[in-house]
Amino acid sequence: MAGVEYVVHTAARAHIMKDPLFDPLTEFRKVNTAGTLTLARQAAEAGVRRFVFISSIGVNGNQSIKPFNEQDTPAPHDLYAISKFEAEQGLWGIQQDTGMEVVVIRPPLVYGPNAPGNFGALMRVVQRGWPLPLGAVHNQRSLVALDNLVDFVITCLDHPAAANQIFLVSDGEDLSTTELLRRVAHALGRPARLIPVPVSLLAAGAALLGRRDMAQRLCGSLQVDISKTQTLLGWNPPISVDEGLRRTALGFLHETTL
Give the three-class secondary structure for 248: helix
HSE value, Cβ hemisphere, 13 Å, CA-based, for 76:
17
Residues near 51 by Cβ (< 8 Å), separated by ≥ 6?
A: 6, 7, 9, 40, 43, 44, 91, 100, 101, 102, 103
Catalytic residues: 80
Rounded distance, CA 215 to CA 233, Å? 36
End-to-end CA distance of the chain: 37
Q: How far is CA 36 from the centre of its chain?
A: 18
Burial of 37 (0-12, 13-18, 19+ CB in 10 A): middle
Rounded distance, CA 251 to CA 231, Å? 33
Rounded distance, CA 60 to CA 55, Å? 11
**Encoded amino acid at 92, one letter:** W
- Cβ–Cβ < 8 Å for 120, 188: no
Strands 109-111 and 6-9: unpaired
**Encoded amino acid at 109, one letter:** L
